[in-house]
Amino acid sequence: MQEIYQKLNFYLNEICKYLEKNDSFLLEKMNKIARLNDSFLDLMKKYSLENKTIQNRLTYEEVYFLARDIIEQMDKSYLLSFDGLIQSGELDFGYNQEYEDSQCVRIEEKGQLTKLINIARNFNYDDVIALIHEFIHYTNWDKKTQNRYYLTEFLSIYFETYALFYLLERGIPLDEINYFDRMKNTICSSRSLYRYEYVLLAYVKFGALDDNSVTWLQKYFCDIKEKSFQKECKDLYQRLSNEEEYYQEELKENPKSLGKILSRAFIARNYRYVLGTFLAIYARYYADFHDIVYVNNHIHEFLDESVFDICLSIGIDLSDNNFPKKMLDAITQYMNELQKENLTTKKVKKF
Protein backbone atom coordinates (compact mmCIF):
# COMPACT_ATOMS: atom_id res chain seq x y z
CA MET A 1 0.00 0.00 0.00
CA GLN A 2 2.90 2.39 0.53
CA GLU A 3 3.27 3.06 -3.18
CA ILE A 4 -0.47 3.68 -3.53
CA TYR A 5 -0.43 6.06 -0.56
CA GLN A 6 2.52 7.95 -2.01
CA LYS A 7 0.93 8.40 -5.43
CA LEU A 8 -2.47 9.21 -3.98
CA ASN A 9 -0.94 11.82 -1.65
CA PHE A 10 0.49 13.59 -4.67
CA TYR A 11 -2.92 13.74 -6.35
CA LEU A 12 -4.72 14.79 -3.17
CA ASN A 13 -2.20 17.54 -2.55
CA GLU A 14 -2.90 19.00 -5.99
CA ILE A 15 -6.64 18.63 -5.51
CA CYS A 16 -6.69 20.27 -2.07
CA LYS A 17 -4.54 23.19 -3.24
CA TYR A 18 -7.14 23.84 -5.92
CA LEU A 19 -10.12 23.32 -3.61
CA GLU A 20 -8.72 25.63 -0.92
CA LYS A 21 -8.92 28.50 -3.41
CA ASN A 22 -12.04 27.50 -5.31
CA ASP A 23 -14.17 25.18 -3.18
CA SER A 24 -13.25 25.56 0.47
CA PHE A 25 -16.78 24.62 1.56
CA LEU A 26 -16.14 20.98 0.61
CA LEU A 27 -12.90 20.79 2.58
CA GLU A 28 -14.33 22.56 5.63
CA LYS A 29 -17.52 20.48 5.78
CA MET A 30 -16.24 17.14 4.49
CA ASN A 31 -17.15 15.28 7.67
CA LYS A 32 -20.74 16.55 7.77
CA ILE A 33 -21.16 15.97 4.05
CA ALA A 34 -19.94 12.38 4.40
CA ARG A 35 -22.33 11.70 7.28
CA LEU A 36 -25.31 13.16 5.41
CA ASN A 37 -24.36 11.18 2.33
CA ASP A 38 -24.13 7.91 4.25
CA SER A 39 -27.48 8.53 5.94
CA PHE A 40 -29.11 9.22 2.59
CA LEU A 41 -27.78 6.02 1.03
CA ASP A 42 -29.00 4.01 4.01
CA LEU A 43 -32.46 5.57 3.74
CA MET A 44 -32.77 4.94 0.01
CA LYS A 45 -32.20 1.20 0.44
CA LYS A 46 -35.82 0.84 1.48
CA TYR A 47 -37.21 2.25 -1.78
CA SER A 48 -37.69 0.73 -5.19
CA LEU A 49 -37.16 3.30 -7.95
CA GLU A 50 -38.71 1.21 -10.71
CA ASN A 51 -40.58 3.54 -13.02
CA LYS A 52 -40.87 2.31 -16.59
CA THR A 53 -41.38 5.13 -19.04
CA ILE A 54 -42.39 5.27 -22.67
CA GLN A 55 -41.87 7.80 -25.42
CA ASN A 56 -44.81 9.81 -26.68
CA ARG A 57 -45.44 12.24 -29.51
CA LEU A 58 -44.69 15.36 -27.51
CA THR A 59 -43.22 17.83 -30.02
CA TYR A 60 -40.52 20.32 -29.16
CA GLU A 61 -43.14 23.09 -29.44
CA GLU A 62 -45.27 21.32 -26.83
CA VAL A 63 -42.23 20.87 -24.58
CA TYR A 64 -41.39 24.54 -24.98
CA PHE A 65 -44.89 25.84 -24.26
CA LEU A 66 -45.45 23.50 -21.32
CA ALA A 67 -42.18 24.75 -19.83
CA ARG A 68 -43.32 28.31 -20.55
CA ASP A 69 -46.54 27.75 -18.58
CA ILE A 70 -44.49 26.53 -15.62
CA ILE A 71 -42.04 29.42 -15.81
CA GLU A 72 -44.91 31.90 -15.89
CA GLN A 73 -46.12 30.42 -12.60
CA MET A 74 -42.64 30.70 -11.10
CA ASP A 75 -41.82 34.30 -12.02
CA LYS A 76 -43.31 36.15 -14.99
CA SER A 77 -40.15 38.24 -15.31
CA TYR A 78 -38.38 35.12 -16.65
CA LEU A 79 -40.61 35.09 -19.73
CA LEU A 80 -38.70 37.90 -21.42
CA SER A 81 -35.54 35.82 -21.72
CA PHE A 82 -37.34 32.48 -22.14
CA ASP A 83 -39.42 33.77 -25.07
CA GLY A 84 -36.28 34.71 -26.98
CA LEU A 85 -34.41 31.41 -26.57
CA ILE A 86 -35.43 29.74 -29.84
CA GLN A 87 -35.18 32.78 -32.08
CA SER A 88 -31.73 33.62 -30.68
CA GLY A 89 -30.51 30.07 -31.20
CA GLU A 90 -29.69 29.69 -27.49
CA LEU A 91 -32.04 26.70 -27.14
CA ASP A 92 -31.49 23.51 -29.08
CA PHE A 93 -33.26 20.16 -28.87
CA GLY A 94 -31.16 17.12 -29.69
CA TYR A 95 -33.01 14.46 -31.67
CA ASN A 96 -30.28 11.98 -32.57
CA GLN A 97 -28.25 11.77 -29.37
CA GLU A 98 -26.25 14.87 -30.25
CA TYR A 99 -25.97 15.56 -26.54
CA GLU A 100 -24.97 13.01 -23.94
CA ASP A 101 -27.03 14.89 -21.39
CA SER A 102 -29.02 18.12 -21.19
CA GLN A 103 -26.86 21.06 -20.24
CA CYS A 104 -26.51 24.81 -20.00
CA VAL A 105 -23.23 25.98 -21.50
CA ARG A 106 -21.56 29.31 -20.79
CA ILE A 107 -19.14 30.72 -23.37
CA GLU A 108 -17.23 33.93 -22.79
CA GLU A 109 -15.03 35.20 -25.61
CA LYS A 110 -13.60 38.68 -26.12
CA GLY A 111 -15.94 40.15 -23.54
CA GLN A 112 -18.99 38.60 -25.19
CA LEU A 113 -21.14 36.22 -23.10
CA THR A 114 -23.17 33.46 -24.76
CA LYS A 115 -25.35 30.98 -22.88
CA LEU A 116 -26.69 27.90 -24.63
CA ILE A 117 -29.28 25.36 -23.48
CA ASN A 118 -28.99 21.94 -25.09
CA ILE A 119 -31.74 19.42 -24.35
CA ALA A 120 -31.06 15.71 -24.89
CA ARG A 121 -34.58 14.59 -25.78
CA ASN A 122 -36.26 11.62 -24.15
CA PHE A 123 -39.41 12.32 -26.17
CA ASN A 124 -41.73 12.50 -23.18
CA TYR A 125 -42.42 14.85 -20.28
CA ASP A 126 -38.89 14.39 -18.97
CA ASP A 127 -37.91 16.96 -21.61
CA VAL A 128 -40.04 19.61 -19.90
CA ILE A 129 -38.34 18.91 -16.57
CA ALA A 130 -34.89 19.07 -18.18
CA LEU A 131 -35.70 22.39 -19.84
CA ILE A 132 -36.81 23.94 -16.54
CA HIS A 133 -33.64 22.69 -14.79
CA GLU A 134 -31.31 24.09 -17.45
CA PHE A 135 -33.23 27.34 -17.81
CA ILE A 136 -32.72 28.08 -14.11
CA HIS A 137 -28.97 27.66 -14.68
CA TYR A 138 -29.39 30.08 -17.58
CA THR A 139 -31.08 32.70 -15.39
CA ASN A 140 -28.32 32.79 -12.77
CA TRP A 141 -25.20 32.40 -14.90
CA ASP A 142 -24.58 35.97 -15.99
CA LYS A 143 -21.67 36.05 -13.55
CA LYS A 144 -19.39 33.54 -11.90
CA THR A 145 -19.75 34.14 -8.18
CA GLN A 146 -18.89 31.74 -5.38
CA ASN A 147 -22.40 31.47 -3.96
CA ARG A 148 -23.81 30.78 -7.42
CA TYR A 149 -21.26 27.97 -7.79
CA TYR A 150 -22.34 26.42 -4.49
CA LEU A 151 -26.09 26.87 -4.85
CA THR A 152 -26.90 26.65 -8.57
CA GLU A 153 -27.70 22.92 -8.45
CA PHE A 154 -29.93 23.46 -5.43
CA LEU A 155 -31.84 26.17 -7.30
CA SER A 156 -32.20 24.18 -10.53
CA ILE A 157 -33.24 21.00 -8.70
CA TYR A 158 -35.74 22.92 -6.55
CA PHE A 159 -37.51 24.40 -9.59
CA GLU A 160 -37.18 21.10 -11.44
CA THR A 161 -39.09 19.54 -8.54
CA TYR A 162 -41.68 22.31 -8.80
CA ALA A 163 -42.09 21.48 -12.49
CA LEU A 164 -42.41 17.77 -11.74
CA PHE A 165 -45.28 18.26 -9.30
CA TYR A 166 -46.88 20.87 -11.58
CA LEU A 167 -47.13 18.20 -14.27
CA LEU A 168 -48.20 15.44 -11.89
CA GLU A 169 -50.97 17.59 -10.44
CA ARG A 170 -52.34 18.06 -13.95
CA GLY A 171 -52.66 14.34 -14.46
CA ILE A 172 -50.07 13.55 -17.08
CA PRO A 173 -49.72 9.79 -17.75
CA LEU A 174 -47.34 8.36 -15.16
CA ASP A 175 -45.57 6.22 -17.74
CA GLU A 176 -44.64 9.32 -19.73
CA ILE A 177 -42.41 10.87 -17.06
CA ASN A 178 -39.60 9.41 -14.99
CA TYR A 179 -40.66 10.89 -11.67
CA PHE A 180 -37.84 9.06 -9.86
CA ASP A 181 -35.20 10.43 -12.22
CA ARG A 182 -33.79 13.03 -9.80
CA MET A 183 -33.39 10.49 -7.02
CA LYS A 184 -31.74 8.00 -9.38
CA ASN A 185 -29.23 10.66 -10.43
CA THR A 186 -28.64 11.69 -6.83
CA ILE A 187 -28.01 8.11 -5.75
CA CYS A 188 -25.49 7.79 -8.57
CA SER A 189 -23.61 10.90 -7.41
CA SER A 190 -23.99 9.82 -3.79
CA ARG A 191 -22.45 6.42 -4.45
CA SER A 192 -19.56 8.03 -6.29
CA LEU A 193 -18.98 10.36 -3.34
CA TYR A 194 -19.23 7.41 -0.96
CA ARG A 195 -16.30 5.69 -2.69
CA TYR A 196 -13.82 8.41 -1.77
CA GLU A 197 -15.34 10.59 0.96
CA TYR A 198 -13.36 9.13 3.87
CA VAL A 199 -10.09 9.05 1.97
CA LEU A 200 -10.46 12.75 1.28
CA LEU A 201 -11.53 13.38 4.88
CA ALA A 202 -8.49 11.53 6.21
CA TYR A 203 -6.16 13.59 4.04
CA VAL A 204 -7.84 16.88 4.97
CA LYS A 205 -7.87 16.17 8.72
CA PHE A 206 -4.66 14.20 9.26
CA GLY A 207 -2.39 14.99 6.34
CA ALA A 208 -0.54 12.54 4.11
CA LEU A 209 -2.12 9.09 4.00
CA ASP A 210 -0.29 6.17 5.58
CA ASP A 211 -1.02 3.03 7.58
CA ASN A 212 -2.16 5.15 10.54
CA SER A 213 -4.82 7.07 8.62
CA VAL A 214 -7.54 4.51 9.13
CA THR A 215 -6.81 4.40 12.88
CA TRP A 216 -7.33 8.17 13.15
CA LEU A 217 -10.55 7.93 11.16
CA GLN A 218 -11.83 5.20 13.46
CA LYS A 219 -10.92 7.22 16.53
CA TYR A 220 -12.49 10.52 15.54
CA PHE A 221 -14.96 10.08 12.68
CA CYS A 222 -16.27 6.70 11.57
CA ASP A 223 -16.19 2.96 12.03
CA ILE A 224 -14.44 2.10 8.78
CA LYS A 225 -12.57 -1.16 8.33
CA GLU A 226 -8.93 -1.11 7.28
CA LYS A 227 -9.68 -3.31 4.28
CA SER A 228 -12.46 -0.96 3.15
CA PHE A 229 -10.25 2.10 3.56
CA GLN A 230 -7.46 0.53 1.54
CA LYS A 231 -9.91 -0.38 -1.21
CA GLU A 232 -11.18 3.22 -1.29
CA CYS A 233 -7.59 4.41 -1.62
CA LYS A 234 -6.85 2.02 -4.48
CA ASP A 235 -10.07 2.88 -6.30
CA LEU A 236 -9.57 6.62 -5.92
CA TYR A 237 -5.98 6.40 -7.07
CA GLN A 238 -7.07 4.49 -10.17
CA ARG A 239 -9.81 6.98 -10.99
CA LEU A 240 -7.48 9.94 -10.62
CA SER A 241 -4.75 8.22 -12.58
CA ASN A 242 -7.20 7.58 -15.41
CA GLU A 243 -8.25 11.23 -15.43
CA GLU A 244 -4.63 12.37 -15.57
CA GLU A 245 -4.02 10.10 -18.54
CA TYR A 246 -7.19 11.20 -20.31
CA TYR A 247 -6.25 14.88 -20.04
CA GLN A 248 -2.54 14.48 -20.74
CA GLU A 249 -2.63 16.80 -23.77
CA GLU A 250 -4.26 19.56 -21.75
CA LEU A 251 -1.73 18.99 -18.98
CA LYS A 252 1.16 19.31 -21.41
CA GLU A 253 -0.06 22.80 -22.25
CA ASN A 254 -0.63 23.72 -18.61
CA PRO A 255 1.02 21.34 -16.09
CA LYS A 256 -0.21 23.47 -13.18
CA SER A 257 -3.84 22.67 -13.98
CA LEU A 258 -3.67 19.13 -12.58
CA GLY A 259 -5.56 19.98 -9.38
CA LYS A 260 -8.32 21.72 -11.33
CA ILE A 261 -8.64 18.87 -13.82
CA LEU A 262 -8.79 16.18 -11.15
CA SER A 263 -11.27 18.17 -9.03
CA ARG A 264 -13.70 18.96 -11.81
CA ALA A 265 -13.74 15.32 -12.94
CA PHE A 266 -16.02 14.34 -10.07
CA ILE A 267 -14.82 15.53 -6.65
CA ALA A 268 -16.01 19.13 -7.04
CA ARG A 269 -19.18 17.98 -8.80
CA ASN A 270 -20.64 14.96 -6.99
CA TYR A 271 -21.22 16.64 -3.66
CA ARG A 272 -22.92 19.71 -5.19
CA TYR A 273 -25.53 17.52 -6.88
CA VAL A 274 -26.02 15.54 -3.68
CA LEU A 275 -26.32 18.60 -1.43
CA GLY A 276 -28.36 20.37 -4.10
CA THR A 277 -30.93 17.58 -3.95
CA PHE A 278 -30.93 17.52 -0.15
CA LEU A 279 -31.52 21.28 0.05
CA ALA A 280 -34.12 21.30 -2.73
CA ILE A 281 -36.25 18.61 -1.11
CA TYR A 282 -35.77 20.14 2.36
CA ALA A 283 -36.88 23.51 0.96
CA ARG A 284 -40.02 21.95 -0.53
CA TYR A 285 -41.30 21.29 3.01
CA TYR A 286 -39.58 23.94 5.12
CA ALA A 287 -39.08 27.02 2.93
CA ASP A 288 -41.27 29.53 1.11
CA PHE A 289 -41.39 29.29 -2.68
CA HIS A 290 -41.09 33.03 -3.20
CA ASP A 291 -37.98 33.17 -1.02
CA ILE A 292 -36.27 30.66 -3.33
CA VAL A 293 -37.25 32.76 -6.35
CA TYR A 294 -35.73 35.78 -4.62
CA VAL A 295 -32.45 33.96 -3.97
CA ASN A 296 -32.26 32.85 -7.58
CA ASN A 297 -32.85 36.40 -8.81
CA HIS A 298 -30.28 37.94 -6.44
CA ILE A 299 -27.68 35.20 -6.10
CA HIS A 300 -24.85 37.47 -7.29
CA GLU A 301 -25.69 40.14 -4.73
CA PHE A 302 -24.90 38.03 -1.65
CA LEU A 303 -21.24 39.02 -1.77
CA ASP A 304 -20.69 39.26 1.98
CA GLU A 305 -22.88 36.33 2.94
CA SER A 306 -21.94 32.68 3.22
CA VAL A 307 -23.90 29.66 2.03
CA PHE A 308 -25.02 29.26 5.66
CA ASP A 309 -26.32 32.85 5.72
CA ILE A 310 -28.24 32.50 2.47
CA CYS A 311 -29.78 29.20 3.51
CA LEU A 312 -30.77 30.65 6.88
CA SER A 313 -32.52 33.54 5.12
CA ILE A 314 -34.87 31.05 3.45
CA GLY A 315 -35.50 28.93 6.53
CA ILE A 316 -32.76 26.34 6.19
CA ASP A 317 -30.53 26.32 9.27
CA LEU A 318 -27.53 24.19 8.31
CA SER A 319 -26.05 24.59 11.79
CA ASP A 320 -29.16 23.14 13.46
CA ASN A 321 -28.35 19.82 15.15
CA ASN A 322 -31.73 18.57 13.93
CA PHE A 323 -31.01 19.42 10.29
CA PRO A 324 -29.88 15.88 9.32
CA LYS A 325 -33.05 14.35 10.79
CA LYS A 326 -35.29 16.97 9.21
CA MET A 327 -33.56 16.43 5.89
CA LEU A 328 -34.14 12.68 6.03
CA ASP A 329 -37.76 13.27 7.09
CA ALA A 330 -38.23 15.55 4.08
CA ILE A 331 -36.75 12.97 1.71
CA THR A 332 -38.99 10.30 3.24
CA GLN A 333 -42.04 12.50 2.73
CA TYR A 334 -40.95 13.26 -0.84
CA MET A 335 -40.49 9.58 -1.66
CA ASN A 336 -43.85 8.71 -0.10
CA GLU A 337 -45.55 11.31 -2.28
CA LEU A 338 -44.03 9.71 -5.36
CA GLN A 339 -45.40 6.27 -4.63
CA LYS A 340 -47.75 5.36 -7.46
CA GLU A 341 -50.78 4.91 -5.22
CA ASN A 342 -50.36 8.48 -3.94
CA LEU A 343 -49.84 9.91 -7.40
CA THR A 344 -52.96 8.26 -8.77
CA THR A 345 -55.04 9.61 -5.89
CA LYS A 346 -53.34 13.04 -6.10
CA LYS A 347 -52.04 12.85 -2.53
CA VAL A 348 -49.19 15.26 -3.15
CA LYS A 349 -48.20 18.49 -1.46
CA LYS A 350 -48.73 21.68 -3.42
CA PHE A 351 -45.99 24.31 -3.52
The predicted-structure confidence for 184-200, as pLDDT tens digits, reads as follows 999 999 999 999 999 99
66, 70, 73, 76 alpha-carbon torsion, rounded to 10°: -80
Q: What is the DSSP letter of 302?
A: -
Confidence of residue 313 (pLDDT cuts 50, 70, 90): very high
Confidence of residue 84 (pLDDT cuts 50, 70, 90): very high
Alpha-carbon distance 211 to 142, whole Å? 47
Nearest partner of 200 among 147, 247, 155, 266, judged by Cα: 266
Confidence of residue 110 (pLDDT cuts 50, 70, 90): confident
Confidence of residue 87 (pLDDT cuts 50, 70, 90): confident
Question: Strands 112-120, 103-109: parallel, antiparallel or unpaired by DSSP?
Answer: antiparallel
Alpha-carbon distance 123 to 126, whole Å? 8
Orientation angle between helical segments 60-74 and 126-139, nearest 10 degrees? 50
Mean pLDDT of the 145-174 span: 96
Is it the case that residue 346 has pLDDT exceeding 80? no
Nearest partner of 340 among 47, 61, 142, judged by Cα: 47
Q: Percentage of the chain with pLDDT > 70?
A: 99
Q: How far is CA 229 from CA 15, 172, 176, 216, in A?
A: 19, 46, 42, 12
- Greater confidence (51 vs 335) lies with 335
Task: Return the pLDDT at 96.
Answer: 74
Q: How high is the mean pLDDT of the chain? A: 95
| CA dihedral (252, 144, 117, 187) positive or negative | positive
The predicted-structure confidence for 270-293, as pLDDT tens digits, reads as follows 999 999 999 999 999 999 999 999
Nearest partner of 157 among 346, 290, 296, 53, judged by Cα: 296
The predicted-structure confidence for 114-140, as pLDDT tens digits, reads as follows 999 999 999 999 999 999 999 999 999
Alpha-carbon distance 132 to 122, whole Å? 14
